[in-house]
Amino acid sequence: MIDIKFLREHPEEVKENIKKKFQDSKLPLVDQVIELDKERRSCQQKADDLKAERNALSKKIGGLMKEGKKDEAEDVKRQVTEKADELAALDARQTELEEEVTKIMMVIPNIIDPSVPIGKDDSENVEVKRYGEPVVPDFEIPYHTDIMERLHGIDLDAARRVAGNGFYYLMGDIARLHSAVISYARDFMIDRGFTYCVPPFMIRANVVTGVMSFAEMDAMMYKIEGEDLYLIGTSEHSMIGKFIDQIVPEEELPYTLTSYSPCFRKEKGAHGLEERGVYRIHQFEKQEMIVVCKPEESPMWFDKLWQNTVDLFRSMDIPVRTLECCSGDLADLKVKSVDVEAWSPRQKKYFEVGSCSNLGDAQARRLKIRVDGKDGKYLAHTLNNTVVAPPRMLIAFLENNLQADGSIRIPEVLRPYMGGKDRIV
């Protein structure tokens, strides 16, 4: 959510940003907000004037009573009552206008960074750099669930009977590998100076609307029936929510946190061929990283965050590349985003395994996360990035470490988490 003052003073810049995101249907919202905001400020001024008049009249009453001018005092009392009724009506209208303005402002997209490439959708994202040499072996690589089934590591049929499509049982060494990757990612981030955290796995509606757009909320979140609670789609939601309504001392910044959580997602519309198996599922586990920092430091932290993911995957010998997300592929709250994609030898292409986002002060404005600085209070900047999200990451891991004999090589960094094993057979 952008600053209403910025929109008021730079409406054409806000409209141009909407055009860059190919959301022209939202263009009328800018003028609508300006008119509503103008009326709201007019109500505020009238209310302030009425309060001043009412206070002046109230002071008269006592003097008139002392002078024995009871009738005049009663007349003034009536005027005070009339002013109070008028003031109540103005206050009600002002509240109504504030709610309307906020509702619309929540829909207007954030101002994107000037460096963001302009494009309509993810097909126009721009490759930045490749890390590691993508290799296609001279033997056939089966689909990832076939690899897992040969190793007695997954049971999708039982999961369908128990919970339906989009769920799974991981078994044996594959389940152990899944946990090993999460544990390794946790320690990897702790070694980089991040504080480990296990957050709440449910959050209230005001936190949900504070961290994401309404469109994302509808497509992702599961609501707990009869309660003001949602299952988190990623631990970023509750991690950023940790600072809701807080004024944090500037000297404590930045907050650098890495968190583990299960994640729950509706995954509407996920029906493609490559989204079978465990590529898009309703429940998975994830190691996340978030940063709350000063505005001038967020570009630096943005580059550090996506580099962490690249370094993690390369430490497990998985080739990756980074993609700069174009304007049309950015969620409304994002200022800038980079996707990390892992190499798939079977598909002979890269696929997404993580996404790093700088949200500027959008989440902080919605959640009222302020910093107490030496020159006054200001809004913090928030960033988030995926460290690793099994089991999707397992797809890249299994394909890149599959051997000709059907065994899975375990990279050296993971062996301590696998009881010293150097392969799964």
Residues 64, 159, single domain; the answer is no
Total number of domains in the chain = 2
Say yes or no: 86 and 234 in one domain. Answer: no
Task: Say yes or no: 43 and 77 in one domain.
Answer: yes
Q: Is the pLDDT of residue 404 over 80?
A: yes
Mean pLDDT throughout 111-138? 96
Domain identity same for 93 and 148: no
Task: Tell me which of 105, 134, 161 is where a domain ends.
Answer: 105
Task: Say whether both 128 and 240 belong to one domain.
Answer: yes
pLDDT bucket at 66, cuts 50 / 70 / 90: low
Pair 93, 169 in one domain: no
Q: 75, 105, 135: which is the final residue of a domain?
A: 105
pLDDT above 90: percentage of residues in the chain:
80
Average pLDDT over residues 420-425: 95
Q: Are 90 and 127 in the same domain? A: no
Q: How confident is the model at residue 59 (pLDDT cuts 50, 70, 90)?
A: low
Query: Which residues constitute the domain of residue 325?
Result: 122-424
Q: Report d(CA 109, CA 8) in Å as an integer.
A: 15
Q: Are residues 160 and 187 in the same domain?
A: yes
Q: In what order do the strands lie in the sheet with 283-293?
A: 126-131, 320-324, 336-344, 349-358, 381-388, 283-293, 255-264, 195-197
- Are 90 and 185 members of one domain? no
Residue 19 lies in a domain: yes
Domain with 96 in it: what CATH number? 1.10.287.40
Same domain membership, residue 99 and residue 127:
no
77-91, 325-339, 407-421: lowest mean pLDDT where?
77-91
What pLDDT is stored for residue 275 in this prediction?
52
Q: Is residue 156 part of a domain?
A: yes
pTM over 0.85: yes
Residue 111: inside a domain, yes or no?
Answer: no
Same domain (yes/no): 209, 64: no
In a domain, 185, yes or no: yes
Tell me if 13 is assigned to some domain.
yes
- 114 is a domain residue: no
Domain closes at, from 105, 140, 155 = 105
The CATH number of whichever domain residue 178 belongs to comes to 3.30.930.10
* Calpha distance 366→300 (Å, rounded): 23
Note whether residue 393 is domain-resident: yes
pLDDT of 273: 42
344 and 198 in a common domain: yes
Residue 117 falls inside a structural domain: no
Terminal alpha carbon distance of the chain: 51
